């Protein structure tokens, strides 16, 4: 059984007992435990079921590489699935449930899949798509969905808080093991600004489980001392629970800080923080990850990595089992055997697949009387939900059993893989080291920054220095190279001495026995999390998937949440064997960020609920809110759509607003309209190039409606331009168009016409713009007083600068409603005051506020176009009967040449018409297709579509505009709009100006 | 300058103001007459890129290679300064606009103001990089802003008027107790 023992446990605080629940059972651990170590302390060796076959699984590792121990934490709004138990710091009150079983963890009905493993081979999922076709939908999909899929999705919205944090540092050191600490120490002394990040909740990494000395100080004490010394340096910061998950171009990095424990203890309001870092240089001290050896039954609970066995004992005081068999192809695994033996636990046997080793550790084991068998392997692990023994065989051969050894734990080591994911994120290449049996960074193909310089350096076991004694020299040299890029910074080296340990070479063996047949291979698991076996890889290569990228996708090898941290190298080795190549020629799959899974909450950061997206508000927003406005989003703005009264529907409110405006007086908040000042000696010429019509001849004090097209001649914005002075114009844009038009102007000014002397300034937010429309609007302005706006003095398209009700105002006589109408621009800070004055004075004229929908109805009644309704990026002004606003005299303007192309001048282009419905109770859907109608195949050709459609309260009938092929020529003809169930609406093509065609109302 | 509202958390005090006089000034910075006009009307020279110059009444900020922002700290003087500037820049290709209504100004006080801004702004906020006199146009969260230091413990941030209520909410959220950790 696995249990807590009195020895080891460097990280534990035995005085602080913590309670937690696992599948509803109350268990205990100590401060300093991970969830994994606490489970083992409670003899919880079986911790979950596998993804596909629902096989019993146990904890394999002690770190981020863990494939099996995925748990669901918490409940309700705090529920979180698929968290790796080895990376969770134990907390008092933690609620944990295991995953992937139908029924209980002990008795899982899904285990039946295991007996049908033959029908779930590699590519099974893809094969279900093929034959018979009907089977996928009704048979396979429901079964697969039910059986597979790790943890459940949370059922409630997450209540925790997340945020982003941006930081710039000179050097980032990743990993606070021996190498990371030494590097930070050396860099810190140089005065550079250094950030050291460590993914675990403690410093020291694997070194903390070691027994060597640094400069005569035992390692654990040295780590503590170094931590203190670094804390005293102002230029150095250390972050624990911080994983660097991605390295991107331009030295941009993503880090993930886990603050769950602090949050739970009330010390942090934030659960996860996403760091967005920029750094000059990065030092990777990311260490190495041990790989398992592969043999039949290697996934039975109780089989774990030798490094995990060692770490669980050294850091958490855990005995992985009473009798532990060690199986290895290298010297380092002997550390587990020696330590467990010294702790008084039984280590009946070390199986070493090598022929011999003359390293210090095997010799030490022998001297302690531990039995070592060289040249042997494991034929099978015995046991179902827990290891009960192993069958030893000769490494060579097919696995005939030589001896059965009872044990309840197997510590396995298939060598170490340097952790180089981050090196690869930004293009660093790898090179296979035959002696160390790992990929190492290829320093001649290092990741480079925007200047082509190497910006990532690798130290420690990530660089292949597996013996601690090699590390100080390696760091001294690396830091020296790194500092070359910091001018005036001097290296201050501290002498570090670590006694050398002699290691025997690591062997390339990864499967035992070498000649394992198919029967054993179907029990040889290579990727635990996705249930991929040696037999699956063999089948896939047999079916032609020989490229590593194809093999990965077909078998799902390395595609689980652990991203194949344990399985990739073994998979590549086996593929190399199968296709008869060396591993370096097989290639690797691409390492992509994130290095470990991160929460979606951290990616969203604070951008949720009210902070999801900015809402722009006019100075009058609060008034609209207080007066019951329903909103319409326009760009980032919120505009009042209508102001329904309590007894009204929205449609009724719109009708009332239209009618009231047409009869007496309506007031509209038009502040969102874009306002851009173009000023300078060449302003007129510049605008002539941007607008389709002439602006340079506009008189001071006058306005003109203008159109803007893009290079292809298509209309993209419209608005009124006013000439403020000889050199200064004010250009109005659509609500959503201000920023776009401003950048458009800047771009043409900066890239094409930089010689033109103009300044372009966006002053949209400087003004509260208010429209007063209706036959009584002039009466109101006169009542407010201060400016002469009589019909003789102030003609349509005039503007003046003056005062209204003692408030500074710019008054434009423009109309988008077809009524007598004035637009008034007030400096933003005075907008509210003016608006309120209008209501005070306007009550006797029955003033009412109207929203965007009433505005739209009124403009449609007048046949005025709306950018985005009548235009869709393929419409030229001529299509909208706006040819009058396109200059024929001007030598050039943006869009001119495009509009001269044959296609643009084609008389068959769709042009704007009005539609009058024959049955006035019908409603035309927006965007509906239009046909000639009358039955027969030919007549069903679509000739255009409806661009705007409203019910006109003024005319008491539905009106619509459409872009139709032939346009004007169809005037008076009837067309049809096909609807559901073979029905069609019948309409007559008419002039799009439905109301007051002569314009007598607005010109009053 | 009118205080619109304020929010206080354990570590941060946020105040929102309006009615701060602001004038946009466009022109050719290398033109001697432009420089002279500026010195005459504002008693301030052209600030270096990404910086701000201040005296008792005024601050002059570098917005772009041909744009400056003049911030008038004394109430009621904007119109007068605008006229003076217009007068001294007469005949030069330049632009002077009163934009006092375009923006809101926020004062953020507290030793952890750098940490607060770093939650949303990608710029380098280290003490050695962002100093008194630095002026940066950047973004905070999804809002475009500019900011500069008032003192070691406070910073001014300006943003577009229409974004100010969203930005205020953003700041209050970022200032929540227990979310600020000393970093800079």
Q: Is residue B182 a part of any domain in this protein?
A: no
Choose between A666 and A587: higher pLDDT.
Answer: A666
- Structural domains in chain A (count): 4
Q: Is residue A129 a part of any domain in this protein?
A: no
Closest to A347 in 3D by CA, of A324, A314, A331, A366: A324
Contact B66 A759 (CB under 8 A): yes
State the count of interchain CB pairs (< 8 A) between A and B.
Answer: 122
Claim to verify: residue B39 and residue B94 sit in the same structural domain: yes
Residues of A in contact with B79 (CB under 8 A): none
Judge whether B67 and B25 are in contact, CB under 8 Å.
Answer: yes
CB atoms within 10 A of CB A371: 14
Query: How far is residue B60's CA from residue A1's CA, in Å, rounded to a whole number?
Result: 74
List, for residues B76-135, the tens digit of each pLDDT value: 899 999 999 999 999 899 999 999 999 999 999 999 999 999 999 999 999 999 999 999
| DSSP label at residue A701 | T
**pLDDT reading at A426 higher than 70:** yes
The pLDDT of residue A854:
98
Q: Measured between CB atoms, which of A163, A237, A616 is closest to B162?
A: A616
Domain closes at, from B98, B113, B135:
B98
Residues A80, A82, A85, A88, CA torsion sign: negative
Structure token digits, residue A434: 């035959």
Query: How far is residue A691's CA from residue A703's CA, in Å, rounded to a whole number?
Result: 14
Q: Is residue A450 a part of any domain in this protein?
A: yes
3-state helix vs strand vs coil in chain B, percent to 5: 25, 40, 40
List of long-range contacts for A423-429, beta carbons under 8 Å, 24+ apart: A423/A284, A423/A447, A423/A456, A423/A458, A423/A462, A424/A588, A424/A590, A424/A591, A425/A246, A425/A247, A425/A248, A425/A591, A425/A592, A425/A593, A426/A247, A426/A248, A426/A249, A426/A456, A428/A456
Q: For the residues A602-622, what does the mean pLDDT come to?
A: 96
Residue of chain B nearest A268, judged by CA positions: B178
Q: Is residue A811 a part of any domain in this protein?
A: yes
**Interface probe with A: pick from B24, B181, B182, B184, most Cβ of A within 10 Å:** B181
Lowest mean pLDDT segment, chosen from A93-102, A108-117, B128-137: A108-117
Claim to verify: residue A96 and residue A183 sit in the same structural domain: no
Concatenated DSSP letters of A67-127: SS-EEEES-GGG-EEEEEGGG-B--TTEEEEE-S-SB-SSSBGGGHHHHTGGGS-TTHHHH
Judge whether A426 and A449 are in contact, CB under 8 Å.
Answer: no
List, for residues A306-348, the tens digit of each pLDDT value: 999 999 999 999 999 999 999 999 999 999 999 999 999 999 9
Burial of B59-86, coded b for 16+ CB within 10 Å and e otherwise, reads: bbbbbeebbbbbbbeeeeebeebbebbe
Q: Is residue B81 a part of any domain in this protein?
A: yes
Contact B162 A611 (CB under 8 A): no
Q: For the residues A824-828, what does the mean pLDDT come to?
A: 96
Phi, psi of A438 (to 5 degrees): -155, 160
Judge whether A961 and A947 are in contact, CB under 8 Å.
Answer: yes
Half-sphere exposure in the Cβ direction for A764 (13 Å, CA): 24
Claim to verify: residue A188 and residue A261 sit in the same structural domain: yes
B153 to chain A nearest CA, in Å?
A: 19
**Complex confidence, ipTM:** 0.97
Q: For the residues A475-490, what does the mean pLDDT come to?
A: 93
Claim to verify: residue A283 and residue A424 sit in the same structural domain: yes
Q: For the residues A206-226, what does the mean pLDDT come to?
A: 96
Domain closes at, from A734, A764, A794:
A764
Which residues, other chains included, contact B66 with Cβ-Cβ below 8 Å and sequence gap of 6+? A759, B26, B27, B28, B29
Claim to verify: residue A192 and residue A75 sit in the same structural domain: no
Structure token digits, residue A689: 């190039």
Which residues, other chains included, contact A20 with Cβ-Cβ below 8 Å and sequence gap of 6+? A26, A27, A28, A29, A35, A38, A90, A91, A92, A93, A94, A95, A96
**Strand A272-284 vs strand A162-174: parallel, antiparallel, or unpaired?**
parallel
Residue of chain B nearest A621, judged by CA positions: B162
Query: How far is residue A756's CA from residue A678's CA, in Å, rounded to a whole number?
Result: 11
Residues of A in contact with B123 (CB under 8 A): 166
Claim to verify: residue A275 and residue A249 sit in the same structural domain: yes
B102 to chain A nearest CA, in Å?
A: 4
Claim to verify: residue A728 and residue A816 sit in the same structural domain: no
pLDDT confidence of A908, banded at 50, 70, 90?
A: confident
List, for residues A438-481, the tens digit of each pLDDT value: 999 999 999 999 999 999 999 999 999 999 999 999 999 999 99
Share of chain A above pLDDT 70, in %: 97
CB atoms within 10 A of CB A874: 12
**Distance of alpha carbon A766 from its chain centroid, rounded?**
36
* Residues spanned by the domain of B110: 2-18+102-174
Query: How far is residue A431's CA from residue A190's CA, in Å, rounded to a whole number?
Result: 32
Contact B119 A637 (CB under 8 A): no
Claim to verify: residue B106 and residue B167 sit in the same structural domain: yes
Claim to verify: residue B114 and residue B161 sit in the same structural domain: yes
Domain closes at, from A859, A881, A914:
A859
The CATH number of the domain holding residue A835 is: 3.30.1360.120
Claim to verify: residue A29 and residue A82 sit in the same structural domain: yes
Query: How far is residue B38's CA from residue B59's CA, in Å, rounded to a whole number?
Result: 12
Claim to verify: residue B7 and residue B41 sit in the same structural domain: no
Claim to verify: residue A706 and residue A757 sit in the same structural domain: yes
Q: For the residues A408-414, what does the mean pLDDT come to?
A: 97
Closest to A176 in 3D by CA, of A168, A167, A185: A185
**pLDDT reading at A643 higher than 70:** yes
Query: How far is residue A568's CA from residue A590's CA, in Å, rounded to a whole number?
Result: 11
- Global pTM value: 0.93
The pLDDT of residue A938:
55
Residue of chain B nearest A264, judged by CA positions: B178
Q: Is residue B131 a part of any domain in this protein?
A: yes
Q: For the residues A669-688, what does the mean pLDDT come to?
A: 97
**pLDDT reading at A232 higher than 60:** yes
Kind and range of the H or E element at A565?
none
Can you point out the beta strands (E) in A787-874? 799-804, 807-812, 821-827, 848-849
Phi, psi of A766 (to 5 degrees): -70, -20
Claim to verify: residue A186 and residue A278 sit in the same structural domain: yes
Claim to verify: residue A97 and residue A235 sit in the same structural domain: no
**pLDDT reading at B140 higher than 90:** yes
* Residues spanned by the domain of A855: 627-671+766-859
The CATH number of the domain holding residue B141 is: 3.30.1360.120
Residues of A in contact with B173 (CB under 8 A): 606, 611
Domain closes at, from B98, B124, B158:
B98
Q: Is residue B27 a part of any domain in this protein?
A: yes
Partner residues linked to A964 by β-bridges: A911, A944
The CATH number of the domain holding residue A187 is: 3.50.50.60
3 state DSSP class of B151: strand
pLDDT confidence of A145, banded at 50, 70, 90?
A: low
List, for residues A346-380, the tens digit of each pLDDT value: 999 999 999 999 999 999 999 999 999 999 999 99
Which residues, other chains included, contact A222 with Cβ-Cβ below 8 Å and sequence gap of 6+? A213, A214, A215
Contact B101 A829 (CB under 8 A): yes
Kind and range of the H or E element at A428?
none
**pLDDT reading at A138 higher than 90:** no
Structure token digits, residue A760: 């372009």
Distances (CA, A) of A111 to A46, A106, A222, A429: 14, 10, 49, 42
**pLDDT reading at A937 higher than 60:** no
List, for residues A289-310, the tens digit of each pLDDT value: 999 999 999 999 999 999 999 9
Distances (CA, A) of B145 to A606, A673, B137, B142, B176: 18, 21, 6, 9, 21
The pLDDT of residue A733:
97
**pLDDT reading at A939 higher than 90:** no
Judge whether A979 and A930 are in contact, CB under 8 Å.
Answer: no
Kind and range of the H or E element at B128?
none
**pLDDT reading at A386 higher than 60:** yes
Lowest mean pLDDT segment, chosen from A209-223, A835-849, A968-982, B170-184: A968-982
Query: How far is residue A967's CA from residue A907's CA, in Å, rounded to a whole number?
Result: 9
Claim to verify: residue B50 and residue B107 sit in the same structural domain: no
**pLDDT reading at A51 higher than 90:** no
Claim to verify: residue A432 and residue A462 sit in the same structural domain: yes
Contact A166 B121 (CB under 8 A): yes
**Strand A372-374 vs strand A346-352: parallel, antiparallel, or unpaired?**
parallel
B98 to chain A nearest CA, in Å?
A: 8
B3 to chain A nearest CA, in Å?
A: 13
Q: Is residue B157 a part of any domain in this protein?
A: yes
Q: Is residue A495 a part of any domain in this protein?
A: no
Lowest mean pLDDT segment, chosen from A39-48, A121-130, A526-535, B25-34: A121-130
Q: For the residues A84-89, what does the mean pLDDT come to?
A: 96
Q: Is residue B36 a part of any domain in this protein?
A: yes
Q: Is residue B6 a part of any domain in this protein?
A: yes
Phi, psi of A379 (to 5 degrees): -85, -45
Q: Is residue A301 a part of any domain in this protein?
A: no
| DSSP label at residue A205 | G
The pLDDT of residue A940:
77
Share of chain A above pLDDT 90, in %: 83
pLDDT confidence of A118, banded at 50, 70, 90?
A: low
Claim to verify: residue B167 and residue B110 sit in the same structural domain: yes
- Structural domains in chain B (count): 2
Question: A26: exposed, middle or buried (C-beta count within 10 Å: 0-12, 13-18, 19+)?
Answer: exposed
First to last CA, chain A: 97
Structure token digits, residue A894: 């943006």
The pLDDT of residue A142:
72
The CATH number of the domain holding residue A702 is: 3.30.70.1400
Contact B141 A606 (CB under 8 A): yes
Contact A266 B103 (CB under 8 A): no
The CATH number of the domain holding residue B66 is: 3.30.70.1520
Residue of chain A nearest B66, judged by CA positions: A759
A392: left (phi over 0), alpha (psi -120 to 50) or beta: beta
CA A215-A219-A223 angle, to 5 degrees, is: 100
Q: What is the mean pLDDT of chain A?
A: 93
pLDDT confidence of A803, banded at 50, 70, 90?
A: very high
CB atoms within 10 A of CB A216: 8
Claim to verify: residue A756 and residue A795 sit in the same structural domain: no
**pLDDT reading at A394 higher than 60:** yes
Claim to verify: residue B166 and residue B153 sit in the same structural domain: yes
Q: Is residue B146 a part of any domain in this protein?
A: yes
Q: What is the mean pLDDT of chain B?
A: 95
Domain closes at, from B98, B123, B147:
B98
Q: Which residue matches tokens 């992985």?
A: A320
Contact B119 A193 (CB under 8 A): no
The pLDDT of residue A846:
95
Q: For the residues A37-44, what does the mean pLDDT come to?
A: 96
Burial of A849-873, coded b for 16+ CB within 10 Å and e otherwise, reads: bbbbbbbbbbbbbbbbbbbbbbbee
Domain closes at, from A733, A764, A795:
A764
CB atoms within 10 A of CB A227: 16
Structure token digits, residue A982: 């073979």
Residue of chain A nearest B102, judged by CA positions: A766
The pLDDT of residue A919:
82
Which residues, other chains included, contact A255 with Cβ-Cβ below 8 Å and sequence gap of 6+? A197, A239, A242, A243, A244, A245, A274, A275, A276, A277
């Amino acid at each position: 059984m696995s249990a807590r023992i009195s020895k080891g446990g460097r990280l534990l605080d035995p005085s602080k007992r913590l309670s937690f629940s696992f599948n509803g059972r109350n268990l205990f651990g100590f401060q300093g435990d991970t969830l994994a170590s606490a489970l083992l302390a409670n003899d919880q060796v079986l911790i979950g079921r596998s993804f596909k076959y629902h096989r019993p699984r146990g904890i394999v590792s002690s770190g981020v590489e863990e494939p099996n121990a995925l748990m669901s934490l918490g409940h309700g709004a705090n529920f979180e699935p698929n968290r790796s138990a080895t990376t969770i710091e134990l907390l008092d009150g933690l609620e944990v449930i295991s995953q992937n079983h139908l029924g209980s963890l002990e008795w899982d009905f899904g285990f039946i899949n295991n007996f049908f493993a033959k029908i779930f081979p590699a590519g099974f999922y893809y094969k279900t798509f093929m034959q018979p076709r009907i089977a996928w939908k009704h048979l396979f999909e429901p079964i697969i969905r039910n059986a597979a899929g790790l943890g459940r999705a949370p059922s409630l919205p997450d209540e925790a808080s997340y945020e982003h944090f941006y930081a710039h540092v000179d050097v980032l050191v990743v990993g606070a093991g021996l190498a990371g600490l030494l590097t930070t120490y050396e860099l810190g002394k140089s005065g550079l600004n250094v950030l050291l990040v460590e993914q675990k909740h403690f410093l020291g990494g694997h070194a903390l489980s070691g027994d060597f000395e640094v400069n005569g100080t035992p390692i654990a004490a040295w780590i503590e001392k170094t931590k203190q010394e670094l804390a005293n340096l102002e230029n150095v910061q250390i972050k624990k629970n911080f994983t660097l998950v991605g390295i991107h171009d331009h030295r941009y990095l993503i880090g993930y800080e886990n603050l769950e424990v602090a949050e739970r203890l009330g010390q942090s309001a934030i659960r996860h923080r996403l760091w967005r870092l920029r750094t000059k240089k990065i030092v990777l001290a990311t260490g190495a990850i041990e790989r398992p050896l592969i043999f039949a039954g290697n996934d039975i609970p109780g089989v774990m990595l030798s490094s995990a066995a060692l770490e669980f004992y050294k850091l958490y005081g855990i005995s992985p089992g009473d009798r532990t068999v060690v199986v290895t192809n290298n010297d380092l695994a002997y550390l587990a055997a020696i330590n467990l033996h010294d702790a008084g636990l039984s280590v009946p046997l070390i199986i070493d697949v090598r022929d011999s080793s003359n390293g210090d550790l095997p010799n030490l084991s022998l001297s302690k009387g531990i039995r070592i068998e060289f040249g042997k392997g494991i034929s099978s692990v015995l046991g179902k939900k827990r290891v009960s023994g192993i069958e030893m065989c000769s490494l060579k051969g097919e696995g005939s059993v030589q001896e059965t050894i009872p044990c309840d734990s197997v510590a396995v080591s298939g060598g170490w893989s340097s952790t180089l994911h981050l090196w690869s994120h930004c293009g660093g290449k790898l090179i296979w080291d035959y002696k160390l049996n790992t990929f190492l960074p290829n320093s001649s193909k290092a990741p480079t920054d925007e200047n082509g310089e190497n910006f990532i350096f690798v130290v420690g076991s990530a660089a292949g220095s597996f013996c601690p004694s090699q590390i100080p020299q390696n760091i001294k040299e690396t830091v020296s190279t790194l500092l070359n890029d910091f001018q005036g910074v001097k290296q201050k080296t501290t002498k570090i001495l670590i006694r050398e340990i002699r290691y025997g070479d690591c062997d390339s063996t990864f499967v035992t026995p070498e000649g394992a047949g198919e029967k054993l291979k179907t029990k040889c698991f290579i990727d635990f999390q996705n249930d991929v076996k040696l037999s699956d890889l063999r089948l896939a290569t047999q079916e032609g998937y020989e490229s590593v990228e194809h093999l990965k996708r077909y078998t799902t090898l390395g595609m689980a949440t652990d991203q194949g941290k344990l399985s990739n190298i073994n998979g590549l080795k086996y593929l190399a064997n199968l296709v008869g190549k060396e591993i370096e020629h097989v290639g690797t799959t691409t390492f992509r960020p994130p290095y470990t899974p991160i929460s979606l909450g951290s990616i969203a950061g604070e951008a949720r609920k009210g902070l999801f997206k900015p809402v722009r508000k006019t100075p009058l927003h609060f008034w609209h809110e207080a007066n019951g406005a329903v909103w319409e989003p326009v760009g980032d703005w919120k505009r009042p759509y209508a102001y329904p009264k309590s007894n009204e529907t929205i449609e009724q409110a719109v009708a009332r607003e239209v009618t009231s405006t047409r009869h007496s007086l309506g007031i509209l908040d038009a502040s969102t309209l874009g306002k851009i000042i173009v000023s300078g000696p060449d302003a007129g010429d510049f605008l002539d190039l941007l607008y389709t019509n002439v602006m340079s001849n506009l008189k001071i004090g006058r306005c003109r409606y203008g159109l803007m097209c893009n290079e292809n001649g298509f209309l993209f914005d419209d608005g009124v331009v006013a000439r403020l002075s000889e050199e200064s114009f004010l250009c109005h844009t659509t609500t959503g168009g201000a920023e776009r038009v401003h950048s458009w102007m800047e771009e043409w000014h900066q890239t094409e016409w930089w010689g033109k002397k103009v300044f372009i300034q966006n002053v949209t937010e400087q003004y509260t713009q208010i429209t007063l429309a209706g036959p009584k609007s002039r009466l109101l302005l006169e009542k407010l007083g201060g400016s002469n706006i009589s019909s003789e003095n102030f003609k349509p398209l005039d503007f003046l600068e003056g005062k209204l009700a003692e408030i500074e105002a710019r008054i434009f006589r423009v109309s988008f409603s077809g009524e007598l109408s004035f637009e008034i621009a007030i400096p933003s800070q005075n907008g509210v005051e003016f608006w309120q004055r209008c209501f005070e004075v306007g009550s006797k004229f029955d003033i009412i506020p109207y929203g965007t929908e009433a505005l739209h109805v009124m403009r449609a009644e007048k046949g005025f176009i709306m950018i985005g309704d009548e235009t869709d990026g393929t419409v030229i002004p001529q299509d909208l009967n706006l040819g009058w606003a396109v200059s024929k005299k001007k030598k050039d303007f943006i869009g001119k040449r495009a509009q001269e192309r044959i296609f643009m001048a084609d008389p068959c282009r769709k042009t704007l018409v009005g539609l009058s419905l024959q049955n006035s109770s019908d409603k035309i859907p927006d965007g509906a297709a239009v046909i000639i109608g009358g039955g027969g195949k030919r007549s069903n050709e679509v000739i255009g579509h409806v661009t705007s459609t409203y019910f006109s309260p003024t005319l008491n009938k539905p009106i619509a505009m459409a872009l139709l092929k032939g346009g004007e020529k169809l005037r008076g003809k009837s067309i049809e709009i096909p609807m559901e169930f073979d029905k069609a609406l019948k309409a007559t093509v008419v002039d799009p100006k439905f109301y007051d065609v002569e314009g007598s109302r607005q010109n009053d | 300058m009118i205080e619109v509202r304020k929010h206080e958390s354990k570590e941060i005090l946020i105040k929102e103001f309006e009615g701060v006089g602001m004038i946009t000034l466009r022109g050719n910075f290398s033109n001697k007459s432009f420089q002279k006009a500026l010195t005459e009307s504002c008693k301030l020279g052209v600030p270096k890129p990404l910086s701000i110059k201040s005296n008792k009444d005024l601050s002059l900020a570098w917005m772009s290679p041909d744009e400056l922002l003049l911030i008038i700290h004394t109430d009621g003087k904007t119109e007068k300064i605008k006229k003076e500037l217009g007068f001294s820049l007469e005949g030069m290709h330049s632009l002077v606009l009163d934009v006092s209504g375009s923006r809101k100004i926020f004062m953020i006080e507290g030793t952890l103001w750098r940490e607060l801004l770093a939650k949303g702004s990608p710029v380098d906020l280290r003490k050695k990089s962002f100093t008194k006199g630095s002026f940066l146009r950047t973004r905070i969260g999804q809002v475009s802003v500019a900011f500069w230091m008032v003192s070691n413990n406070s910073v001014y941030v300006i943003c577009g008027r229409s974004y100010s209520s969203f930005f205020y909410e953003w700041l209050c959220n970022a200032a929540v107790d227990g979310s600020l950790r000393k970093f800079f």
